[in-house]
Structure 1
Amino acid sequence: MSVTLSDYRAAVSAPGATVPVLASAVGRLPVAMFSLATLLYVQRASGSFAVAGAVSAGTLIGVAVGSVGQGRVMDRRGPTRVLVVAAALFALFALALVAAVETGAGLPWIVLAALLTGAAMPAMPGASRALWARLVPAGPRREAAYGYEAISLEVFFVLGPGLAALLAAAPWPGTGTAVAVVAAVVGAVGFALSGAARADRGAPAERRSSLLGALGTPGMRSVALAGLGFGVVVGAVEVGVPAFTAGTGSPALGGLLLSAWSVTSVLVGVFYGMRPWPRALHVRMPVLVAAFGALVLVMWAAGAVGSLALLVVVMVVAGGLITPQTTGHSLLVEAVAPPGAAAEAFGWVVTAITVGAAAGQSVAGVVVDAAGAPAAFVVGGVAGIALGALLWARRRTLEA
């Protein structure tokens, strides 16, 4: 199915979409900003990257758990009450986190506060994605809406980290964390109180034999596998690129290249939706995951010969496969998720990507210390190809 620019315009201007679109734009800024802003805040306050890393990990674990839990309740009750309660708890736990950092509390208490804060972060991506099924009809316009979701997330993955780094230099290093909290609360409450969100009252829960809920179906396990592969590759690259540029004497270049990576993803994502390949979605996802890994493996070859220019070229090409994958995740959720479980299902995708990114970063970090910066791309490349092959073997589970 192909989409046009008019489909994108029709989707975001659909009746009832204006307020949710604007509110979700504000509310999703912290998705890529809060964890980094808090890491920089804790590092400056404690003087330790080890402490900051532990707190950041606690935040990410909390987000991974909270996105599934909030999504499950949204499917049953609708997004309004869930997001309002989550926003209130998020503000409360964030305040506790700041108090723990400022008073020099022990590391276990700070990590616990970070874990609770992450779990309470309003699950805006899942809520926003689920609402499109009510706002636009199935077909090109809905696919364009999911494409918009993926593209807008990428935009904030460019803006969020840069804003976090900028605000970390403020007189109070917690400024970035405070801005992220305010944006999350304002965006979530604005989205929750919109007419479209209040009209969504959820659906009665279906009996399911698995405690995993939406993940209990083979198709959703395959979608989660696709998200896991995507996350591992991205996580490895996020370690390998800064490590490689630092080795060339230009440490600041790493962040710039990662931002350019996301920009490429946004630009290519719009036009890829007009001519998606392969056409069949259940075939497309394994191909995209494996191709993503293969291109990152080529980045290893470029790094191994010491060519920064070649590495940048290949990295830009690889970046073009980011948005097609994240858009595909939304389309697959619609195709294979159990009825009435869209928000929870997308929460599992977010969890899979988060876990994959954390694993990719962790393994790549160890490999870089042992074998040099280019080895990080081997981690991402091999994992992407292997998980793409596994997904290919399970491709029939991705058919509607």
Structure 2
Amino acid sequence: MSETHGTRRIHYAAMLRLPGVPLFMVTSSVARLPIAMASIAFLLYVQRMTGTFADSGLVSGSVLLGVACGTVLQGRLIDTFGMRRALAPVLVVFTLVAAANFWAVETHAPVAVLAASAFLFGLTQPSVSPASRVVWVKEVPSGRALEAALTYEAISLEVFFILGPALAGILAALPWAGTGLLVTVVLLIGGSLAFLATPLVGHAGRSESRGEARRLERLESKRLSRELLRNPGMHTLVLIAVGFGILLGTVEVVAPAVAVDAGHLALGGALIGAWSLTSVVFGLLYGIRPWPQALHRRTPVLLAAFAVLIGLMALPHSFAGFVITLMVAGTLITPQATVHSLLVDRVAPAAASGEAFAWVVTAVTLGLGLGQGIAGPLYSKFDAAPALLGAVLIGLLIAGVAWLRRATLLPAAAIVHPTTAPAMAPHSETTA
């Protein structure tokens, strides 16, 4: 065991010694931390200004719907123009949109205006996280160093989703309710500017192909995208990711709402961070001996179990009892996120794995937006139990459909026509 840990330390050390990597890691971290803060900061900001979780749930859900759309659109812009030429104009627009959002909330604009401006906030939020992964793949030599880099990327993102909501909740409890959102915007703008200024981003954004070779690359990319959209395994995986997001989004509204109603405003975001913490701890233990062993069975089973555990939160109990059931439900977050990543490599062609992963992230974000947008009004009108149980029923229904479609989650090699495999192999090597 000590030898394994020592080897891993060597891999991380090799990664850190690469030129430009330490600066890149710092700037990408600053830019990615607020991604997990935005929707919670919006939720608590609008709730304190309007006094209702119905409006704030719709607004925070609109942010996530905007992020879901913006991730895809900005990904296409990055592929076409490169990172700096694509994200720099987006950052300028985002700055203006963020200012407009503060104005809308502070002037008590109608909820329709708040939702529309929040959607634009998410749409123009710089997609630093996907861009960061691209830089690692392009700039770090393949092998153990790259594996260490991508592992760091995944772990750091999970840590941000623990710290981000908790930080947003604490800042939102300060005298000015918009403090959490203001810090989020400052970190996004400052971190993104620093990220784009790093030498690694500048180098990774340049395409080595020119003229006809570049045109052929784009044609091949479009062909792979069309294949991916017709892939039944991707359809199943995206459906599961949406269901996972709906359950997450519902809890992200209900948990802070329950905390506020119980007189614990500062705990609103901290509860979300806490259930992410139990997620990481249990995820490490679950990874040692996962069950079910077969991935195509494990995915729907985990989604159904997650829905059932969230259903326990709807049972009548004290605030302490609610927190305990929340922590228990959180244990199944990381195992699901892990299996989603594993299934991307299984059901999608290797050359399209990056886009496939982006679609899964977009699906989860879309589900988060839908969950938050629906849970807010339901909680305000009916309380926690109906809001939670509505999401539970949707989650169980999607898990049932996924179980019926589980054969589509078998390895791609088992379902892809053999004549297409050789054509993909060379492109896979150049992409990696």
- Is the pair's TM-score, using the shorter chain for normalization, greater than 0.5? yes
Change (3 A) 1:387 1:48: closer
Q: 2:300 aligns with which of 283, 286, 294?
A: 286
Is this contact kept in 1: 2:55–2:376, CA < 8 A?
Answer: no
Assess if the C-alpha contact under 8 Å between 1:12 and 1:18 holds in 2: no
Single out whichever of 175-184 and 149-158 deviates more from structure 2: 149-158
Contact 2:30–2:188, Cα closer than 8 Å, also in 1: yes
SS of the counterpart of 1:294?
helix
Structure 1 counterpart of 2:78? 74
CA distance in 2, matches of 1:273, 1:191: 33
Partner of 1:258: 272
Contact 2:69 / 2:362 at 8 angstroms: preserved in 1?
yes
After superposition, the C-alpha distances for 1:308-342 in whole angstroms (9 at most, x for unaligned) are: 66654443333222122223333333444456555
When normalised by structure 2's length, the TM-score is 0.74
For structure 1, the residue ranges without an aligned partner over 5 or more in a row are none
Q: TM-score, normalised by structure 1?
A: 0.79
Shift of 1:121: 0.5
- CA separation of 1:83 and 1:13: change in aligned 2, threshold 3 A: farther
In 2, distance between residues paired with 1:246 and 1:176? 16
- The equivalent of 1:323 in structure 2 is 334
- Aligned-residue CA RMSD (Å): 3.9
* Count of aligned positions: 393
| More deviation, 317-326/98-107 | 98-107
* Residues in 1 aligned to 2:239 and 2:144: alpha-carbon distance in whole angstroms: 25
In structure 2, the residue matched to 1:347 is 358
8 Å CA contact retained: 1:8, 1:148:
no
Counterpart check, 1:373 vs 2:384: yes
Identity of aligned residues (%): 45
Give the structure 2 partner of residue 176 of structure 1.
Answer: 180
Residue 216 and residue 7 in structure 1: after superposition, are their counterparts in 2 closer, same or farther (change >3 A)? farther
Q: Which has the higher Rg, Structure 1 or Structure 2? A: 2
Kindly provide the CA deviation profile for residues 85-138 of structure 1, in whole angstroms up to 9, marking residues without a partner as x.
Answer: 322221232233334555666666554433322211011232234444443647
- Superposed counterparts of 1:37-116, under 5 Å: 37-42=41-46, 52-101=56-105, 110-116=114-120
Query: Equivalent residue for 1:386?
Result: 397
**Aligned mate of 1:199, from 194, 198, 204:** 204
Deviates more, 1:358-367 or 1:66-75: 358-367
Q: Deviations over 1:148-193 (max 9, x none)?
A: 4444333323322333333345565443333212211232233334
Name 2:27's counterpart in structure 1: 23
Residue 30 of structure 2 contacts residue 187 of structure 2 at CA under 8 Å; is this kept in 1? yes
Q: CA deviation at 1:274?
A: 4.7
2:281 to 260, 267, 276: 267
Look up the match of 1:124.
Answer: 128
- Residues 42 and 51 in structure 1, CA contact (< 8 A), matched pair in contact too: yes
Assess if the C-alpha contact under 8 Å between 2:14 and 2:145 holds in 1. no
Mark the runs of 5 or more structure 2 residues left unpaired by the alignment: 208-216, 413-432
Instruction: Give 2:429's aligned residue.
Output: none
Q: Deviations over 1:223-248 (max 9, x none)?
A: 21221121122223334445656777
1:28 aligned counterpart, secondary structure: helix
Contact 1:68–1:344 (CA under 8 A) maintained in structure 2: no
Deviation of residue 28 (structure 1)? 1.5
Aligned mates of 2:325, 2:44 — CA distance in 1: 30
Hey, what does 2:212 align to over in structure 1?
A: none
| Distance apart, 1:82 and its partner CA | 2.5
| 1:161 correspondence with 2:165 | yes
- Quickly say closer, same or farther: Cα 1:237–1:167, change in 2 above 3 A: closer
CA change 1:240–1:12 in 2 (3 A) is farther
Give me the whole-angstrom Cα distance separating, in 1, the residues matched to 2:347 and 2:12.
Answer: 22
